[in-house]
Amino acid sequence: MNLFVAQRTSKPCYGGAIAGISLAVLGVLFFAACLYLVFDRKRKAHKISPKDQFNRAASDTAAKAPESIDVAKRASPSLAGVVVERSFEFWYEELAIATKDFSLANKIGEGGFGSVYYAELRGEKAAIKKMDLKAKREFVAELRVLTHVHHQNLVRLIGYCVKGSLFLVYEYIDNGNLSQHLRGSGCDTLSWSSRVQIAVDSARGLEYIHEHTTPAYIHRDIKSANILIDKDFRAKVADFGLSKLAEVKGLSLQSRLVGTFGYMAPELQIELNLSLVFPYLMSSLPKKSQNFKAYSEKVLCRYANCGTVSPKVDVYAFGVMLYELISAKAAVVDGGSTTDTKGLVGLFEQVPILPDSNDDLRKLVDPRLGDNYPIESVSKMFQLAKLCTHKKPESRPSMRSVIVALMALSSPTKDSKIFVPHLETEILKYEYSMIKSMETEVLGSETFTVTSVESEPYTIEEGIED
């Protein structure tokens, strides 16, 4: 018995080992389950819709705008020198989704530098201009202006993108442009009061970039298609792709030929003519001639000097737009044949500035207005347009004086004679000498009248406040 008992007690015990192995297996299984949950969660995170990711990115971008701006500048060497303070750099994928991959259904416009698409981005309606990489000069010009210049009568820039193409993202103005309202078949007739208000708004936007920004800018492509109209029929100046820095002292500057036919000032048309003639002149000269180099340099110098741009080119184009508001005709009037085609300026030049010339003027007024317009107001706008489109740049008024004159359109006056910028105190303060110099040349000394009113001195700030 004792031997049996001794043999049983000396037998090895495996219970502890089995328990340890079981616990180890359970631990491994638990660890594997944890790993599975972690990787499964990451896998699902990658399946979050791009829209949700962009919404998250938008929140992060809004919270960290300064950092994103620095990254944008480093990632876009072509934007060197352009400080983007109040703008976002958008992801290309975000723009593609918002425009349904830039589909025709979302396309709302076509311009000289690209197409425009409707989109909804980060809770805001937007218009996205897609530009070719070749339009980098225009892209940078517009980005430079609209990230530093903010005014209620200038279209607002929301952001940009540089990937494959160049993209500018603007606020969406939901009522089309002035050209569509004047000549489009699907638009109601603009009332005369709306036309005056649109002229005032547009003038304020231009006057702001000419007079109140540092540095000052010249738009260089003012036309009815670049005046956007909102739901309240207020106007905003758009499309700054051709804008140019102006000299601080108001001196004109050299530039390549830009603009739109029908709106181009005479000084720019001279540049166009020379640009067409110059290649012919150069090809007709013997290149071995001793005088060839000197002659070519002389012609080049003359060509360059004619290519001057000043704020007065915007004033001229604005004057053409005033003629459009009166007549609803295009800047270039097609008479049915190439010989009958003429500019709108030439059409209005046939109307004399005389007290009894209203009958001639009525023939050019938009027929859709019927008799629903004050002829005195139309006559004043006509006179102002004629001043703005003067052949000599120095004889055109500034946009500041234009605003004052436009405000007089809705102001009653007892003077039945010709009436140009309405208070003597205003003219004395803003280019009185320039207006007086045009009495004989433009208006005629016998018909030019400035109404003198006893009142407190009038300031331009009081006149343009909303």
Residue 78 and residue 186: Cα distance in Å, rounded?
41
pLDDT lower than 50: segments of the chain: 1-11, 45-51, 53-54, 57-58, 60-75, 85-86, 247-256, 277-278, 290, 293, 297, 299-306, 337-340, 414-419, 421-466
The pLDDT value given to residue 29:
76
The pLDDT value given to residue 67:
44
The pLDDT value given to residue 32:
75
Residue 451 and residue 363: Cα distance in Å, rounded?
28
> For the residues of 354-372, what is the DSSP string, one character each?
-TT-HHHHHTTS-GGGTT-
Residue 226 and residue 223: Cα distance in Å, rounded?
5
> For the residues of 6-54, what is the DSSP string, one character each?
HHHHTS---HHHHHHHHHHHHHHHHHHHHHHHHHHHHHHHTTS-HHHHH
Residue 186 and residue 203: Cα distance in Å, rounded?
26
Both tokens of 271, joined, read: 């540049």
> Smallest Cα–Cα separation from 143: which of 108, 172, 169?
169
Residue 321 and residue 297: Cα distance in Å, rounded?
38
* Domains detected in the chain: 52-172 (3.30.200.20), 179-464 (1.10.510.10)
The pLDDT value given to residue 462:
36
Residue 193 and residue 373: Cα distance in Å, rounded?
8
What type of residue is 315? Answer: V
**What CA dihedral angle connects 369, 370, 375 and 381, to 10 degrees?**
20
Q: Please enumerate in sequence order all residues whose Cβ is within 8 A of that of 122, keeping only pairs 6 or more positions apart, or say none.
A: 54, 55, 58
CA 356 vs. chain centroid, Å, equals: 40
Q: How far is CA 131 from CA 73, 114, 222, in A?
A: 19, 5, 20
The pLDDT value given to residue 233:
96
Both tokens of 132, joined, read: 């070719």
The pLDDT value given to residue 428:
40
- Which positions are catalytic? 221
